Amino acid sequence: MSRGIRRRFIFSTLGFAGVALAVILGAPLVGSTSIDLRRVFDSSIPVSENVDAQIFFVARLPRSLAGALVGATLASAGVIFQGLLRNPLATPFTLGISSGAALGAMLAITFGWSFAIAGITAVPLSSFAGSIGAVAIVYWLSVARQRGLSTSVLLLAGVTLNAFISALILFVQYFADFAETFRTLRWLMGDLDVSSFRPIVVALPLAVVAFAMFAMLPRALNLLSLGPDSAAARGVDIVRAQRTAFFSASLATGAAVSVGGPIGFVGIIVPHLVRLLVGSDHRIVLPASAFFGAAFLVACDTIARTIMAPVELPVGVITAVLGGPFFLWLLVRR
């Protein structure tokens, strides 16, 4: 079962990467106007006259890629947070990052902030700033009393911060007008209504940094899941590993939420399905979850924009409808 770790790693990673690639390239073919993959890549037709290619590359591919980036990021952040907190029910949003992001986004919407940096508008910028703020508060609380991170304080601080920020959001909402409230609500549902490559290009460097940090972590996460003492006794520098895990997963989550809003359940469904298929070794689970997360979210988004066509549902509604029952099943399974 555990023999040939290298072989299991290669098979699993390539397999999930193949699924992701197929879904990412397949999703843009689905939609109100049906297009043909052969025509899309037919080089005999000039691009300016190739309607299929234009729909594929300009109208639909950005959304598919954004879904892949957000899905991969949320799913891997879920793996990291579950390992860090030693809690299989943790999600990227458990520690209040999404609440901080929501507060930022809502302030930008309610007060009509209109600044932009590098073509990125106030709402995603403020949401990212809000998530950084939440991360800073939670981190400060969890290291205040001891050297290293206290995971129990992290959890409690995160849950409390979530509740507190939700109260702040309601407070500001009370003074918002109808249209602003509607926009905020829409943002909170989580949506991948991306129509250009710009958000992807801006979020990508953050994601690359986060994934490079993730790559350092799988073995340490395996050991951390035995408990901090057991990990340290086997030679893990737990303070460094916990800090790397916390900041990389938080950064990744903040970036993903600024692109797609707080799309729920991806960070818990995907890691658990992957573990059911490939076991618990983080060296295999982490890359598999990244690829499967990309495939899962792009597939959900394709359902979201076609199931009630011409109405496009926010993808967060689909992931929540699938994820809620799944989460409950996980809870009662053992």
Report the residue number, 82 or 242, with the smaller CB distance to another protein.
Answer: 82
Contact 268, 91 (CB under 8 A): yes
User: Which of 17, 232, 273, 330 lies at the binding interface for another protein (CB under 8 A)?
Assistant: 232
**Nearest distance from C-beta of residue 309 to another protein, angstroms:** 40
Which residues, 4 to 33, sit near another protein by CB under 8 A? 5-6, 9
CA 82 to chain centre: 14
233 binds another protein (CB under 8 A): yes
Distance CA 279, CA 295 (A): 19
Report the residue number, 4 or 205, with the smaller CB distance to another protein.
Answer: 4
Q: Count of alpha carbons within 13 Å of 194, Cβ hemisphere only?
A: 34
225 binds another protein (CB under 8 A): yes
User: Which of 83, 92, 100, 254 lies at the binding interface for another protein (CB under 8 A)?
Assistant: 83
Distance CA 331, CA 309 (A): 34
Report the residue number, 42 or 237, with the smaller CB distance to another protein.
Answer: 237
User: Which of 46, 112, 235, 310 lies at the binding interface for another protein (CB under 8 A)?
Assistant: 235
**Nearest distance from C-beta of residue 280 to another protein, angstroms:** 4
Which residues, 63 to 82, sit near another protein by CB under 8 A? 82
> Residue-wise over 100-114: b if at least 16 C-beta within 10 A, else e?
bbbbbbbbbbbeeee
87 binds another protein (CB under 8 A): yes
Distance CA 286, CA 300 (A): 21
Residue 310 burial class via C-beta count within 10 angstroms: exposed 0-12, middle 13-18, buried 19 and up: exposed
Which residues, 152 to 191, sit near another protein by CB under 8 A? none
**Nearest distance from C-beta of residue 229 to another protein, angstroms:** 6
234 binds another protein (CB under 8 A): yes
Residue 166 burial class via C-beta count within 10 angstroms: exposed 0-12, middle 13-18, buried 19 and up: middle
Q: What angle, 0 to 180 degrees and rounded to 10, lies between the N-to-C axes of helices 282-306 and 315-333?
A: 140
Residue 270-299 contact track with another protein, rule CB under 8 A, x = bound? -----x---xxx-x----------------
**Nearest distance from C-beta of residue 146 to another protein, angstroms:** 7
User: Which of 32, 195, 196, 230 lies at the binding interface for another protein (CB under 8 A)?
Assistant: 230
What are the DSSP calls for 193-215, one per residue?
A: ---SSHHHHHHHHHHHHHHHHHT
Distance CA 333, CA 88 (A): 13
Report the residue number, 85 or 125, with the smaller CB distance to another protein.
Answer: 85
User: Which of 48, 49, 229, 310 lies at the binding interface for another protein (CB under 8 A)?
Assistant: 229
**Nearest distance from C-beta of residue 1 to another protein, angstroms:** 5
223 binds another protein (CB under 8 A): yes
Report the residue number, 209 or 239, with the smaller CB distance to another protein.
Answer: 239
For residue 299, what is the enclosing H or E element? helix 282-306
- Residue 217 contacts by C-beta under 8 Å, 6 or more apart in sequence? 80, 83, 241, 244, 245, 248, 282, 286
Taking CA atoms, 269 is separated from 118, 146, 156, 174, in Å, by 34, 33, 22, 34
- Residue 249 contacts by C-beta under 8 Å, 6 or more apart in sequence? 76, 77, 80, 81, 84, 92, 210, 214
Size of the site for another protein (CB under 8 A): 34
**Nearest distance from C-beta of residue 228 to another protein, angstroms:** 9
Residues that bind another protein (CB under 8 A): 1-3, 5-6, 9, 82-83, 86-88, 145-146, 215-216, 219, 222-223, 225-227, 229-230, 232-237, 275, 279-281, 283
